[in-house]
């Protein structure tokens, strides 16, 4: 390896180490916890970033985690809990006394405090809320009153707003004087009228460039996007993506400013929703990695049971052609090929459709165009693989007719796969169901049934 390549490799290794807590580090900390060497543990925890601390807690076993939290929980930075998976948050915080969780929540901004308490059971939530000061208690109770996964639960209550008649100089003086009461990070100021309605927005960079005597309503941006508190967080994320904004005011039913949604929260929403949709398509949940064995088994059992029922349906179709299969053993050998190709082609179309629905790229104006396109794509692939599998089968079993049968079945099944792969999620979405949850089960059933019925039915007609 050249010196230049060695330098690049070394730099890559250094970069990698910046983002990962090593297994050796974790072992050293666990050993120190077990030996009750508080100096080593305390120093190690102080050197860890929030993400590293969350990673440490996620990777150690339950006994070590419980011991670490009991002995050193009060030394952990409150913000480290925000870096954890939601299920790990619930497990970790539920093992702590209510007063300790209340102390953690008190140190956080309102949106982060609500995020932590939302992961807990309702009874435990109430115990924690009773230990908070009156102001924070009201804020969290109000947040919990909004629908789950809504902007009201996502928003931050600490919002910077000023009257429209203030000058830029007065606004800057106010921000300096009230620095302790402001959010840790903000990029925009919202301009309000006497009724607390939002009439404009001033980016911080525009404010600091303005002369002190300029009135704030002369430099504000109008026509800004306002988010109703009841709006679903996926719709909020779509707004941010479409409008390219860093923050948006959240308003109540009367249009009064009650909070702000910022881009960092939206990024978390996009990441969470993407993971949830991916996992739902295969019947698992985001917190399965941290759940107990029985709980995880129960969650997956329901999905597998539905799959069993659909598999039985496909087997019933096969049973109609048992005589043909007994006489022509090659049919049993070739059946999985037809079903597998249909399932994979259908999943491709389904994935495109689910993504298009999630990103609002698919609507009534282009639905039929997408259905037509995916059906044609499936048919063309069906034709291509019909030729390939037909030729291979004819040579393999010395039967041109059998090759023609599997070729025809391949075309039929991939046509069905393309059509149903895109129409099933669209139909489920219009019916108010989550297309990421049930689409795969229905699609697999249809491609199996159509594939087996076409292949075995054609074989019964032309080969018996």
Average pLDDT of the residues in 354-381: 86
pLDDT, residue 304, reads 67
Residue 379: pLDDT over 90: yes
Boundaries of CATH 3.10.580.10 in the chain? Answer: 161-262
Q: What is the mean pLDDT of the chain?
A: 84
pLDDT, residue 296, reads 67
The larger pLDDT score, comparing residue 227 to residue 320, is at 227
Interval 408-458: pLDDT, tens: 999 999 999 999 999 998 998 888 887 877 778 888 889 999 999 999 999
pLDDT, residue 26, reads 86
Question: Which of 273, 198, 276, 219 is CA-nearest to residue 241?
Answer: 273
Q: Which fold has domain 292-462?
A: Tetracycline Repressor; domain 2 (1.10.357)
Question: Which of 203, 126, 133, 132 is CA-nearest to residue 168?
Answer: 203
Lowest mean pLDDT across 28-42, 187-201, 311-325, 421-435: 311-325
pLDDT, residue 11, reads 44
Domain 161-262: CATH superfamily is CBS-domain (3.10.580.10)
The fraction of the chain above a pLDDT of 90, given in percent, is 27
**Distance (Å, rounded) from C-alpha 269 to C-alpha 251?**
19
The larger pLDDT score, comparing residue 17 to residue 286, is at 286
- In sequence order, the 6+-apart residues with CB closer than 8 A to the CB of 381 are 345, 414, 418
Interval 147-175: pLDDT, tens: 888 999 889 888 889 998 899 999 999 98
pLDDT, residue 231, reads 93
The fraction of the chain above a pLDDT of 70, given in percent, is 89
Residue 108: pLDDT over 80: yes
Residue 124: pLDDT over 70: yes
Boundaries of CATH 1.25.60.10 in the chain? Answer: 3-154
Residue 5: pLDDT over 60: no
**Distance (Å, rounded) from C-alpha 300 to C-alpha 293?**
11
- In sequence order, the 6+-apart residues with CB closer than 8 A to the CB of 166 are 174, 215, 216
pLDDT, residue 197, reads 92
User: What b-and-e string marks burial along 218-241, b requiring 16 or more CB atoms within 10 Å of the CB?
Assistant: ebbeeebebbbbebbbbebbbbbe
**Distance (Å, rounded) from C-alpha 115 to C-alpha 111?**
6
Interval 86-97: pLDDT, tens: 888 888 898 889
Token pair recorded at residue 397? 């079993």
| Residue pointed to by tokens 């910046």 | 18
Residue 15: pLDDT over 70: no
Res. 1 pLDDT band, cuts 50 70 90: very low
First to last CA, the chain: 65
Domain 3-154: CATH superfamily is MgtE N-terminal domain-like (1.25.60.10)
Give one DSSP letter per residue of 249-286, joined into a string.
EEE-TT-BEEEEEEHHHHHHHHHHHHHHHHHHTTT--G
Residue 190: pLDDT over 90: yes
């Amino acid at each position: 390896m050249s010196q230049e390549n060695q330098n690049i490799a070394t730099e890559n290794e250094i970069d990698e180490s910046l983002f990962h807590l090593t297994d050796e580090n974790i072992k050293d900390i666990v050993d120190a916890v077990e030996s009750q060497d508080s100096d080593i543990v305390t120093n190690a925890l102080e050197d860890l970033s929030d993400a590293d601390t969350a990673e440490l807690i996620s990777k150690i076993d339950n006994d070590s985690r419980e011991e670490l939290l009991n002995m050193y929980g009060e030394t952990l930075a409150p913000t480290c809990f925000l870096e954890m998976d939601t299920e790990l948050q619930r497990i970790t915080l539920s093992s702590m006394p209510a007063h300790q969780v209340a102390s953690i929540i008190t140190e956080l901004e309102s949106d982060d405090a609500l995020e932590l308490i939302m992961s807990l059971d309702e009874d435990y939530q109430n115990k924690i809320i009773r230990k908070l000061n009156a102001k924070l208690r009201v804020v969290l109770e109000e947040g919990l009153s909004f629908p789950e996964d809504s902007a009201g639960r996502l928003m931050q209550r600490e919002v910077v707003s000023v009257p429209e008649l203030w000058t830029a100089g007065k606004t800057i003086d106010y921000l300096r004087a009230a620095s302790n009461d402001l959010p840790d990070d903000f990029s925009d100021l919202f301009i309000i009228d006497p009724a607390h309605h939002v009439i404009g927005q001033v980016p911080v960079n525009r404010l600091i460039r303005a002369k002190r005597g300029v009135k704030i309503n002369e430099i504000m941006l109008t026509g800004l996007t306002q988010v109703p508190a009841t709006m679903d967080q996926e719709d909020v994320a779509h707004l941010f993506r479409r409008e390219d904004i860093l923050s948006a005011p959240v308003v109540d039913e009367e249009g009064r400013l009650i909070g702000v949604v910022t881009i960092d929260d939206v990024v978390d929403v996009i990441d969470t929703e993407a993971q949830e949709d991916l996992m739902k398509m295969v019947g698992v949940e985001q917190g399965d990695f941290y759940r107990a064995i029985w709980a995880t088994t129960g969650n997956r059992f329901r999905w597998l049971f539905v799959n069993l029922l659909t598999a039985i349906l496909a087997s019933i179709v096969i049973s109609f052609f048992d005589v043909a299969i007994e006489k022509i053993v090659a049919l049993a050998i070739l059946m999985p090929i037809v079903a597998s190709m249909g399932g994979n082609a259908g999943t491709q179309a389904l994935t495109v459709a689910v993504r298009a629905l999630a990103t609002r790229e698919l609507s009534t104006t282009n639905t039929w165009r997408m259905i037509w396109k995916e059906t044609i794509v499936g048919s063309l692939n069906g034709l291509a693989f019909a030729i390939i599998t037909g030729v291979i089968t004819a040579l393999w079993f010395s039967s041109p007719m059998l090759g023609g049968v599997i070729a025809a079945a391949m075309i039929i099944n991939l046509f069905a796969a393309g059509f149903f792969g895109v129409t099933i999620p669209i139909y489920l979405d219009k019916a108010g169901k989550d297309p990421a949850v049930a689409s795969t089960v229905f699609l697999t059933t249809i491609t199996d049934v159509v594939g087996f019925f076409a292949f075995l039915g054609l074989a019964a007609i032309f080969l018996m």
